Every structure is written in structure tokens, then in C-alpha cells.
Amino acid sequence: MAVPQLTPSVLHTNKELPTLIVGPSLGTASLQLWGPAVPYLKDHFQLIAWDLPGHGASKPSTEEFSMSQLATGVTTMIDALRTDGVITDGSKLFYAGVSVGGAVALQLAVDYPGTFNGLSSICAAAKIGTPEGWMERAELVAKAGTPTMVTGSAQRWFAPGFIEKEPVISTDLLHNLQDADRFAYAHVCGALAGFDVREQLATTTDPIIAINGAQDQVCPPADAQFIAENAPKATAAVVDSAAHLAPAEAPEETAAILVDFFTSN
């Protein structure tokens, strides 16, 4: 196992503002996932996205990695951005991620306390699915490719009627899935199989907001409530119109929750 190399994409530059690092869900690239929310976030934050290995701008991984190693990959990327002067020393730093990117938020809170002034797990949980389910998916995708996931993901990702209402946004995200490297996708599934921080939430010290979609069948609002009840500085919020990709489905509402929470920390 090795720490994966993650490629950042600057969505909005303004070093005068706090920096918000935004993370992806499995099968998506952050540019398409977070793009709809940028207009509602850019007045408040410098915005930097990262992509999973083999997704979007990041090169495919060549070996398996754990969720802790993925979180280390995020902090390594941030250190490089500081060295390059993209992130100013001493400025406030926040993090928000979706699904596996939200799981990374919780892993960062466990492994790197104090690195961020606040974190948000969006459409995520302290444990997502079952190890057996993730390993079965990893095996299938490694053999047959990511297109095998498109139909099921379209059903899980979006609230009913969203694809018809927003065909460009939904098609772009499903194209991300088709374009993702199948072996890297399988590696992420392996990381999710081993991810479970339910017992460790009590040790966290960072402010956390768990935001889940009311129509999310993968990570329902009860998962956000669990985080709020078990992490000392956590709270929960629900986006009524969203399923599993809240920043793309309900960008204005999701951004408003993030701005309100982060600007108070």
C-alpha cells in the first residue's frame, strides 16, 4: 500500500479569502461535482478541488491504499500548495467532501486534528456500506470496467427527476464515471471496505458539519445524525431536494450551509 498522489484543481483564486478544499465522490471529478456550487462559494473562499486517483485530473493509482493513506494524500497535496504559495500560511483552511470525499473529512478529523478550522462530510457516513459489498464491486469493476456502474449510479446519485431537469450536469457526472480508471476505482472501493471511524468520532476535536440529502438511499440523514451525536463538535444538516451528490443537485442550498458553518468557525 502507498499514499496516492492527488492532483489539485484551482476552481477560484483569491488569497485574501480562507481556502476551502473540496473533495469528490467515487466515480466523479470534482470540477463537475462542485462546479454548480462555485458561484455560491467564491465570494467567501478560495476554492481548490482534488480528484481521486484515476478520476478527473489525478493519475491512476498503481496499488491499493487505505482511507488513512488517502487522507494523507490530501494533506501532502495541501503542503505542496503551501510551498508553491497557492495557500497562504496562517490563512484559515476548511475542507468539504462528498461521499468518499466526505469519509475523508472524517478520516482527516481523526488522523490530522487541528489541520483544518472546520470540516464537512457531505452525503457520507462514518461507515459506508459493507466490506463484502465494496470488495464485490471492486472485483467487478476491475474486470468489466466502470461503465458497468453507470445505470446503478444514475439511480443512486440523483433525486427523482433531476436527470430530466438538469441533463447537462447529470450527463457530465456520468461521463466522469465512464472515464474513470477501472483499477483506481477498484482501489477506492478497497479503501471504503476498510473504512469505519464510528468508534473514533469521540476522539475528534475539529468542528464538523455532516450534510446529507433527504433522498439519499446510500447515506441517509440518519448517518449525519450519528456523526452529530458522536463527534464532540459536530452538527448535522439535511438538504431536502438532494440524494447523493448535494453540491451538484442543490448547489445554492449546500453552499449556504457550508458558508454559514465555516464562517462561524
For residue 63, the domain's CATH number is 3.40.50.1820
Q: Mean pLDDT score of the chain, rounded to an integer?
A: 96
Task: Decide if pLDDT at 1 tops 80.
Answer: no
Cβ-based neighbour number of residue 100 at 10 Å: 25
The overall pTM is greater than 0.85: yes
Number of domains composing the chain: 1
Phi, then psi, of 98 in degrees rounded to 5? -110, 135
Tell me the mean pLDDT in the region 135-161. 94
Residue 2 placed within a domain? no
CB 54 within 8 A of CB 181: yes
Cα(100)–Cα(195) distance, rounded to whole angstroms?
A: 10
Residue 172 lies in a domain: yes
The residue-averaged pLDDT of 139-165 equals 94
- Domain contains 1: no
pLDDT of residue 54: 96
pLDDT at position 48 over 90: yes
Query: Percentage of the chain surpassing pLDDT 90?
Result: 97
Are 25 and 245 in contact by the 8 Å Cβ rule? The answer is yes
Residue 90: predicted pLDDT: 86
Whether the pLDDT of residue 185 is over 90: the answer is: yes
Range of the domain at 88: 8-262
Average the pLDDT over 28-57 and give the result.
96
Q: Is residue 35 part of a domain?
A: yes
Q: Which amino acid does the sequence have at 221?
A: P
Rounded to 5°, the CA angle 210-136-198 comes to 30
Calculate what percentage of the chain has a pLDDT beyond 70: 100
Q: What average pLDDT score do residues 133-162 get? A: 94
Q: Label residue 164 by pLDDT band (50, 70, 90).
A: very high
> Can you tell me the mean pLDDT for 176-189?
96
pLDDT digits (tens, 9 = 90+) for 201-260: 999 999 999 999 999 999 999 999 999 999 999 999 999 999 999 999 999 999 999 999
What is the pLDDT at residue 265?
Answer: 87
| Sign of the C-alpha dihedral computed for residues 147, 152, 156 and 158 taken in this order | positive
| pLDDT score of 116 | 98
263 C-beta neighbours (distance < 10 Å), count? 13
Residue 52 has pLDDT above 80, yes or no: yes
Grid cell digits, residue 23? 473533495
What pLDDT does 89 receive? 86
Using the predicted structure, report yes or no on whether residue 146 has a pLDDT greater than 90. Answer: yes
H, E, C per residue of the chain? CCCCCCCEEEEECCCCCCEEEEECCCCCCHHHHHHHHHHHHCCCCEEEEECCCCCCCCCCCCCCCCHHHHHHHHHHHHHHHHHCCCCCCCCCEEEEEECHHHHHHHHHHHHCCCCCCEEEEECCCCCCCCHHHHHHHHHHHHHHCHHHHHHHHHHHHCCCCHHHHCHHHHHHHHHHHHHCCHHHHHHHHHHHHCCCCCCCHHHCCCCEEEEEECCCCCCCHHHHHHHHHHCCCEEEEEECCCCCCHHHHCHHHHHHHHHHHHCCC
Q: Is residue 3 part of a domain?
A: no
The per-residue pLDDT for range 76-122, each reduced to its tens digit, is 999 999 999 999 988 999 999 999 999 999 999 999 999 999 999 99
